[in-house]
Amino acid sequence: DSGVTQTPKHLITATGQRVTLRCSPRSGDLSVYWYQQSLDQGLQFLIQYYNGEERAKGNILERFSAQQFPDLHSELNLSSLELGDSALYFCASSALSGYGEQFFGPGTRLTVL
């Protein structure tokens, strides 16, 4: 158990819908990272927050957004969902920004029908 929690574990929705994925980092970790893992694109970095502020952006679509709240939990919002958005979404946390071990949560499996 990494100490990072993600909810929900599974999510099934329809095209055009909007969903919110939630992540609680390890106690004391200030950085939260979001990743998307799909069969054809591998593991892709989406976005990072550090202590409430956006720190780095990766391959995140404009339909996706994220935020980190004062209690350090983070949410990833996915809107106007397409079939190709079906993937595993992982959250990771670390004490620092950039360097150091990232602890990954168990992931949320999103299926868009």
Q: Using CB under 8 A, list all residues that contact other proteins.
A: 2, 4, 33, 38-45, 48, 55-59, 90, 92, 97-107
Least distance CB 102 / other proteins (angstroms):
6
Cα–Cα distance for residue pair 46/89, rounded to 1 Å: 10
Cα–Cα distance for residue pair 69/88, rounded to 1 Å: 23
Closest CB to other proteins among 28 and 42?
A: 42
Q: Are strands 10-13 and 108-112 parallel, antiparallel or unpaired?
A: parallel
Least distance CB 74 / other proteins (angstroms):
15
Closest CB to other proteins among 55 and 75?
A: 55
Closest CB to other proteins among 52 and 106?
A: 106
Residue with tokens 């980190």: 68
Least distance CB 58 / other proteins (angstroms):
4
Give Cα 31 distance to the centre of its chain. Answer: 12
Closest CB to other proteins among 40 and 62?
A: 40
- Helix, coil or strand: residue 85: helix
